[in-house]
Structure 1
Amino acid sequence: MTLTAFLVLSLVVGASAFIQGAVGMGFALIIAPVFGFFDASYLPVTLLILMLPLKFLIGWHERGAIDRIGAGWITLGRFFGTFLGMAVLVALSVRQLEIAVGLLTILAAVVALLSPPFKPTPSAAIGAGLFTGVTETATGIGGPPLALLYQHAPGPVLRSTLATCFLLGEIISLVILLIAGRIGLAQLLAAIYLTPAVLIGSVLARHVHSGINGPALRLAVLIFSIVSGAALVLKG
C-alpha cells in the first residue's frame, strides 16, 4: 500500500466509521467500492477485519437496546449463508468480484431507498441473515438486508442489534475464510494500518450521533453507494 493510498483510505475509512456509528449503516456500502478501485484483493477480508472493532464498540455502547431474539434468528441464517458465500467467492475472478461488488452495492442501496416498512419476524430475520451471510462473505457487503429489517426501529435498537449481528457473523466468515486459505498477509497488514481510522471515526460518532440528521445522512450514503457502485461496474 502506497502512502497516498494509505492516506486516502484512512480518510474514507474514518468517515465511514463515523457514519456507521451515527446512523447504524453505511460502512461497507462506502468502503467496498472504494477498496474495489484501489485493490479488489482487499475484499472481503480486510473489510471484514476492519468491521470487528467498529461493530464491537457500537454494540457495547448501546448493549442494553439489543434485540437478542432477533439477533439469534439472524445469526442462525448467517451461519448457513456463510458457506454459500464462500462458494461464490471461490468462483469469482478479481474482475468479476469488482463487478459483483458494484452491482450488489447498487442493488442494496436501491432496495434500501424503495423498501416499504415491515415488522421483523423470525422467518424474515433468518432470511436476512442467510442473504447477508452469502453477500458479506463473498464481497464484504451485507448491511442493507438487516438495515431494512430494523429500519423503523428506534436508533439504539437498530445500531446495537445490527452491530451485534455483524460482529458474530464477521467472526464466522473470517474463520471459514481462514480455513479455506483465503486470508493473506497483505490483507492483514492493510487492516492493521487502517484500524486507527476506524477507532477515531467510531469514537467521534458516539459523542455526536444524537444531534445528526439521520435520515438525510442515510440518504446521502445510499446515493453515494449507487454512484460508486456504478463506477466500479464500469471499471470491472
Structure 2
Amino acid sequence: MSMYVVIGLTVLIAAFVQGATGLGFALISGPVVGMVAPRLLPVFLLIQMIPLNAYVTWRERHAVDGVGTSWISLGRFVGTFGGLGVLFLVTEQQLGLLIGISTVLAVLLTVLAPSFEPGRAAFLAAGLVTGVTETSTGVGGPPLALVYQHRPAPVLRSTVAACFLIGEVISVVLLAITDSISRDQLRVALLLLPAVIVGAVLSRLVHHRLDGRVMRYLVLGFALVSGVVVTVQAW
C-alpha cells in the first residue's frame, strides 16, 4: 500500500507539472518508480502518459507544430525498435543504471544546450533518440525539450504532448506484440490512472500563470537528484 501511495502522489505531481510546463512527467516519476518498483518500467510510464498527453494535445491543439510533429514521429518510430532491443538485452539492475544515467545526461543536455533553430535533421534526431530511450526506460522528454525549449510555451507543451502521444501508442503496441507487458505492470498502471487525470486537470488552472522558466529548473533539479540516487542504488 505504501508503494501505491508513493507512486500515486508522484505521478499526480508529475502530471500537474507536465500539464503546466510541457516537461517533467517521466523526469519526475521515472527515477521514483525506478527506486520503489523498477519492475513496472517502462510500461507503467508509457501507459500513464497516454491520457495525459492526449489531454494536453487537445487542450492546446491550436499551437501544435504539425511539421515538427511529423518528422519527430518518423524518427520516433524507427527508434522504438532500438528501445525494444535494449529491453531484451539488459537486466533489471542494468535498466536501473540506464534510467539513472540517461536522466542525469538528459538534464545536463537540456540545461547546457545552446539556443538554435531546429530543422528536419534536428527533428528526426530528437525523434530517434526519444524512441530508443522512452521505449526502454520510459524517459524520453529531454530530446524534444531541446528542440522546442526556446519556442513559446503553448507550442512546446502541445507539440511535445502530440509527439509523445503518437510515440507512446507505437511503443505500447510493439511491447504488447513482443509479449513485453506483464499483468502486474498493466494492473498498476490502470489502477493509478486517476492520479494522472487529477494532476492533468489541475494543471489547466495554472498552466497560463506559472513562470515556465522557474518551474522548468525546479523540475530539472529534482530530476538530477533522482537520477543520481537511482544510479547509485543500481550500481
CA distance in 1, matches of 2:49, 2:8: 14
Letter in 2 for 1:166: F
Q: Deviations over 1:79-105 (max 9, x none)?
A: 000001100111010000001000000
CA distance in 2, matches of 1:202, 1:51: 10
1:119 aligned counterpart, secondary structure: coil
2:204 aligned counterpart, secondary structure: helix
Which residues of 2 match residues 80-229 of structure 1 at below 5 A?
A: 80-229=78-227
Letter in 1 for 2:128: L
CA distance in 1, matches of 2:115, 2:188: 38
CA distance in 2, matches of 1:106, 1:131: 15
CA distance in 2, matches of 1:182, 1:128: 25
CA distance in 2, matches of 1:53, 1:191: 12
CA distance in 2, matches of 1:124, 1:97: 27
CA distance in 2, matches of 1:178, 1:216: 38
The Cα shift of 1:133 comes to 0.3
CA distance in 2, matches of 1:10, 1:32: 12
Correspondence for 1:14: 12
2:4 aligned counterpart, secondary structure: helix
1:73 aligns with 2:71: yes
TM-score by length of structure 1 reads: 0.98
Correspondence for 2:45: 47
CA distance in 2, matches of 1:9, 1:43: 12
TM-score by length of structure 2 reads: 0.98
Q: Deviations over 1:7-57 (max 9, x none)?
A: 111111100000001110100011111111111111100100000000000
2:206 aligned counterpart, secondary structure: helix
Letter in 2 for 1:162: V
The Cα shift of 1:113 comes to 0.8
Runs of 4+ in 1 over 4 A off after TM superposition: none
Correspondence for 2:233: 235
2:118 aligned counterpart, secondary structure: coil
Q: Residues 153 and 212 of structure 2 are in contact (CA less than 8 Å); yes or no, is this contact kept in structure 1?
A: no
The Cα shift of 1:186 comes to 0.4
